[in-house]
A and B are shown apart, each in its own frame.
Chain A
Amino acid sequence: MIQINNLVKVYNGVTVLNIGNLEIQKGESFGLVGNNGAGKTTLFSLLLDLIEPTRGFVKSNGIKVNESEAWKPFTAAFLDESFLIGYLTPEEYFYFIGELRGQNKADIDTLLKKHEDFFNGEILNKKKYLRDLSKGNQKKVGIIATLIGNPEVIILDEPFANLDPTTQFRLKKIIKELADDKNVTILVSSHDLAHTTEVSDRIVAMHKGEIVKDIRTSEETLKELEEFFAV
């Protein structure tokens, strides 16, 4: 589904990302782990064509993301709060995204209904703008919004951060469900090794912009990762 070819990003002479070759299969649940500055967000930004690659390219479903925009209809992402529109209520935001993705109000309402427990009664009909919600609640809105319109590629940067324990469990359930769907390729980055191993069937560890580990998740994965990151 996603092909990365000799992708290099250089800022002021410092190489922050250098990935020779990486292929993510359709339907794969892909976990990305690494310390701060490992290049996780840079990689995701490159996948979404939000920053320009210094060299190399990313292909999504055969489309070079920095040359065509045809990847946008089947891709959804939530990287940070700049993916939210602060002056909208959560409902308005969902409908807005829905309209851009060709969904009608009823489709959105069904989706929201389905994830009612994920919102934990703190999001809908609260008469609050997104800018006035807490960080965790904002994240909930952003994550559910990526599910609108049945995208084939979903990219979530640090989705577990800022979420309360109960919501983390619920999110894991949602991601696992998506992972079971063979049409959906889901990419999740995290600092939390346990969460990532639980929801991903393939884990890539990055360090200083390079891929240092690429493993199929198994019983020993968590241990292996913990050993790798322990100093």
Chain B
Amino acid sequence: MFKQFIRLEWKAFTRASSFATNVAIKVFMILGALYFGAAFLLLGVGSYYLIKEELHQDPLVLVSKFAIYYMVADLLIRFFIQKIPVINIRPLLVLPIKRGKIVNFALGKTAISFFNIVHSFFFIPFSIVLLVEGYDPVNVIMWHVGMMALIYCNNFINILVNDKDWVFWTVAIILGGMGIIQYYSFFDITIVTSMFYYGLYSTYYMFIIPVAVLAGLYYICFKYFSDALYLDTGLKGKHEIAQTQDYKWLNQFGVTGTFIKNDIKLILRNKRSKQTLLISVMFLFYGLLFGSGAIEVYDGPMWKIFGGIFVTGGFLFTFGQFVPSWDSSYYPLMMSQNIQYREYIAAKWWLVVVVTVVSSLLATFYLYFGVEMYLLILAGAVYNIGVNSHLVLLGGAFIKTPIDLASSKQAFGDKKAFNLKTFLLTIPKLLVPVLLYAAGYYLISPQAGIAFVAAAGVLGFAFRNKVFKMIEKVYITEKYETLAAYKQKN
């Protein structure tokens, strides 16, 4: 029976539409996977010697000390990206298969996910180095088993709390809080936790705890899914209580207003699009890395404008990049309705512009780092509005990835979003302002650099109509292809 399951999985994997793209992208994916594997491998081997040479501490002690952050961060990342494959088991329900088997399979499947395997790339070489360096073999193995058990605990915790947003935020805030408290040395949580993590090595019994917890979690998951293996309980999608919204004040903008209304609803009511808001908030703080001395390379002047572009551009890049893919699930409707492309594009453009303006207002807290810092961000905002807003919409016109609005897991690493044309379009988006700023900075003065970038933004604004016409043309010439591409659901 399991052989059948595995065959099904293999087919699901090889026939997934994201996999069936062209060879170039496949090569990129493989290279990417190899890169990450190698990076972790290097980290596993290298970290031992690095810690030893540079910090003159016992690597095992140090790793045990920070293991708590590693584990919690892992949980957060999983929460965001790891997909829980419960829906796929629907068609199996009525086949003559024991429920226990189905649940075991669904849970077991998560165990071989990339999110678990990748940690082995760190822990296995690290443990081997420990053995080579003469640590007690039995203890090292127990430590290793304990750590891997904890990784798998995360796996099952994630399954249990999947889709509960509040859990994510609680954990994230606690993690952030712990970090801040430790950074300002009020209280060091790692003193307590490292006793446990190091205890996995130094005692003969401690490793039983994570293994027992893992077994317990597996049992709870098993029980939970066995009980919830009905279409109207565990396998049911969430149904929200819907509220009809008018946004009457937008009516004055005519059809453009109609589209904006729809876009606001699109963003607020779908998981995937809500993330663009989250990301734009995160980018708002991205500038803190620059000029605050947090990361040394970022203190260079060219990097500052790079950061300046991103502070206000988070929404622009994440949302604008996928216009019109956001409307992919009802694109046939849009194409058969009486829609002027111009108004449609203008609506998206206004939305992007308004959010950029709001972001630059919210970014006033950068004044704390000096007026120049904020001017830099404002220049970035002007460039974003004048140049990048158009480029991003133009790039989006070439992306034919259907977006599944209901799933949040797609946002990162969307393979099909990679496309040579969009790639080429990132050059003017980022490289040009950096070069302009550098030219002004080195030839005249830092202020001139800022002025150059802002001037380019204002100049770009003049080409608005021309670019809109270009986008319109792309929409028209690529219409059938786009419709066909959107038809293929992921």
Contact = CB atoms under 8 A, between A and B. Distances in A.
B480 A52 contact: yes
A161 B217 CA distance: 45
Given A50-B335, A96-B262, A83 B239 contact: no
A97 B339 CA distance: 10
Nearest to B343: A100
A114 interface: no
Give the interface centre of B244, B266, B332, B338 by most chain A CB atoms within 10 Å. Answer: B338
Given A85-B330, A100-B339, A50 B405 contact: no
Interface string B449-490: 000000000000000000000000000000010011001000
Nearest to B481: A52
A83 B330 contact: yes
B420 interface: no
A187 to B, nearest CB: 13
A51 B480 contact: yes
Contacts of B332: 48, 50, 79-80, 82-83
Nearest to A126: B242
B419 interface: no
Interface string B326-346: 000111110111110000000
A18 interface: no
A128 B242 contact: yes
Contacts of B244: 89, 91-92
A83 B336 CA distance: 9
B241 interface: yes
A85 B258 contact: no
A87 B333 contact: no
B330 A72 contact: no
B233 interface: no
A37 B330 CA distance: 23
A97 B255 CA distance: 11
Given A50-B336, A73-B338, A83-B333, A96 B258 contact: yes
Contacts of A69: 338
Query: What is the interface of chain A mostly: helix, strand, loop, or mixed?
Result: loop
Nearest to B262: A96
Query: What is the interface of chain B mostly: helix, strand, loop, or mixed?
Result: helix
Contact of A86 (B243, B330, B336): B330
Contact of A131 (B255, B406, B487): B406
Interface in B213-247: 237, 239-245
Give the interface centre of B255, B269, B333, B480 by most chain A CB atoms within 10 Å. Answer: B333
Interface in A44-90: 48-52, 69, 72-73, 75, 77, 79-80, 82-89
B269 to A, nearest CB: 4
Interface string A107-122: 0000000000000000
B90 interface: no
A92 B484 CA distance: 27
Contacts of B7: none
Contacts of B182: none
Contact of A84 (B330, B335, B337, B339): B330
Contacts of B330: 82-86
B265 interface: yes
A177 interface: no
Contacts of A127: 241-243
A100 B242 contact: no
Given A73-B338, A85-B333, A86-B330, 15 more contacts: A50-B335, A52-B480, A72-B337, A80-B332, A82-B333, A86-B406, A87-B269, A87-B270, A88-B265, A89-B242, A89-B244, A100-B339, A131-B406, A132-B240, A132-B242
25 contacts: A48-B332, A50-B332, A51-B480, A51-B484, A72-B337, A72-B339, A82-B331, A82-B332, A82-B487, A86-B405, A86-B406, A87-B270, A87-B405, A88-B262, A89-B243, A92-B245, A92-B265, A99-B258, A100-B255, A100-B337, A100-B339, A127-B241, A127-B242, A127-B243, A132-B237
The 6 closest A-B pairs by CB, nearest first: A87-B269, A72-B338, A83-B333, A99-B258, A52-B480, A73-B338
